[in-house]
Chain A
Amino acid sequence: MSTLSNPTTAGATAGATSKFDVEKIREDFPVLKQNIHGKPLVYLDSAATAQKPFAVIDAIRRFHEVDCANIHRGVHELSQRSTAAYEETRSKAKRFLNSRYTNELIFVRGATEGINLVSSSWGRKNVKPGDEIVISAMEHHSNIVPWQMLCEETGAKLRVIPMNERGELLMEEYEKLLNPRTRMVAVTHVSNALGTINPVKQIIDMAHRAGALTLIDGAQAVPHMKVDLQALDADFYTFSGHKVFGPTGIGILYGKTALLNAMPPYQGGGDMIRVVTFEKTTYADLPYKFEAGTPNIAGGIGLGAALDYVNHLGIDQIAAYEHALLAYGTEALTSIPGLRLIGTAREKASVLSFVMEGIHPHDIGTLLDRQGIAVRTGHHCAQPVMDFFNVPATTRASLAFYNTFGEIDALVAGLHKVKEVFA
């Protein structure tokens, strides 16, 4: 990998990752080819949403131009085509995540809905007063609030696994939190605010030994690393399509068949029924029991194309390239005087969150934007994380495989200019 003592540009850094032709890959992402305020766009906000390759854009377009029809039950050609394309995504996701069956993969709007589905459907049926739900100190609001709402409704108690100054969960404290009242452990696989990769396999195994179920929020993990659902043995796992280069409004919730079968439906309506009379309704089998109403068909098809695209690049190659990019970015940012990284876990993925002495993240964000550099500033929907580090907000540069070493250099140069303004 390149180092700062040997300054590099996008072209010169290809060495360590020569198999990964980032310039060629960037050709697949039309949005990246534009100037912002007269400067080439440097998109460092993929943790908020990832950009979409032509493959995804074309798949959605093709659906609308050629195959558009409502899915399931249609006997005409278009309906059969769109049903096949939509359902094919489930099979692709099964292979992508190595789940055992396709019918344990439920289409949802995104990870937020996936978590809400479990907290509502499983939670209301199974959680009783005095039960405990365990989350962690680094959760996104989407993996805090649904559980808080469930606790409020049921009289259960929310427990929080603490973390250290690096942004790593304290596993010995987690061990102490587990007890016979623990019903669910809901933890993020990768922190959106800190980049920490949590030891989810260990977290799941410990929860299971205590008799608790587990839900893993994979929104920030699936785009960056191999996720093997059978190896992990999570009871529920969810992610959002738009963070894995697919469209917004579509995601997947995985749940073990026995658990999903025992859960009541989340929403009622068409598609989720077998027989409806005014006296009684019997529900459809998995996965349709949880998929009321006409779904985001185009989104589902687009997600399938996104998973194909990631497969084509190779998730392990992506992870290796991003790891090198993150290491380079970490070293480059820490060389800036007055800059403090927030989140320095030993196991990290794709996130560089930081604060700068005397300069508010919002001002950094605006000044970088004027140089064409898109970063996110604020609390990243993780206010408890900000409180822990005693900062009101951070600036977050988040990486994807289409980012270059040259873009890291542009970020560093941009931050030096920010410092000049506030000198």
Chain B
Amino acid sequence: MVHDLYQEIILDHSKRPRNCHFMADATRQADGYNPLCGDKLKLFVKVENDIVVDVSFVGSGCAISTASASLMTESLKGKTRQEALKLLDKFHELLTTDTAVSQDLGKLVVFCGVRDYPARVKCATLAWHTLKSALSTELAEPVTTE
């Protein structure tokens, strides 16, 4: 049943999210909130010399939003800010268009099923919206998916 959406890797990351902790030495931080379902997320990013050296998050959300945040943190480490934002665009494209799946997405392709569940796109993008906010300013305002 609905294994196109709840793929094994998504279930795994939702039950055992990676990098799910506070980060005392984060250089950037942003809050994400989806008023539709009450999902809340606090994202911590450590940027050194324009490279994302560490990312973590805390919060509560559905399986899709938790797994998305978890997989996002794994795929960002070592990327420049520019590369991270480019990945965000590709991820958004994966969820919202019918274009071919980009090879650069790595594990993130497991979210391709979400495009068939329009009501759940915001769940998958919450962490990424929050990332954009965290990366665009040193002192980010809280963001929402609205």
- How many residues in A have their beta carbons less than 8 Å from beta carbons of B? 20
Q: A371-B1, A393-B37 are in contact. Are A362 and B64 (CB under 8 A)?
A: yes
- Which residues 39-86 of B sit at the A interface, judged by CB distance below 8 A? 39-40, 60-64
Q: Does A386 contact B (CB under 8 A)?
A: yes
Main secondary structure of the interface of A (DSSP, over half): mixed
Q: A366-B120, A378-B38, A392-B40 are in contact. Are A360 and B62 (CB under 8 A)?
A: yes
Q: A360-B61, A392-B60, A422-B63 are in contact. Are A366 and B5 (CB under 8 A)?
A: yes
Q: Does B36 contact A (CB under 8 A)?
A: yes
Q: Does B20 contact A (CB under 8 A)?
A: no
Q: Does A417 contact B (CB under 8 A)?
A: yes
Complex interface: chain B residues within 8 A of A393 (CB): 37-38
Complex interface: chain B residues within 8 A of A422 (CB): 11, 15, 63
Separation of A360 and B2 alpha carbons in the complex (Å): 16
Q: Is the CB of B64 within 8 A of A361?
A: no
Separation of A399 and B6 alpha carbons in the complex (Å): 29
Q: A417-B1, A422-B15 are in contact. Are A366 and B38 (CB under 8 A)?
A: no
- Which residues 397-419 of A sit at the B interface, judged by CB distance below 8 A? 417
Complex interface: chain B residues within 8 A of A358 (CB): 15
Separation of A46 and B15 alpha carbons in the complex (Å): 32
Q: Is the CB of A378 within 8 A of B11?
A: no
Q: Does B119 contact A (CB under 8 A)?
A: yes
Query: Could you tell me the distance in whole angstroms from the C-beta of B112 to the nearest C-beta in chain A?
Result: 16
Q: Is the CB of A421 within 8 A of B1?
A: yes
Separation of A23 and B40 alpha carbons in the complex (Å): 43
Q: Is the CB of B117 within 8 A of A386?
A: no
Contact of A361 among B2, B6, B37 (CB under 8 A): B37
Sample 17 A-B pairs with CB under 8 A, ordered by A number.
A360-B61, A361-B37, A361-B62, A362-B64, A363-B62, A363-B63, A366-B2, A366-B117, A366-B120, A370-B1, A377-B37, A383-B38, A392-B39, A392-B40, A417-B1, A422-B11, A422-B63
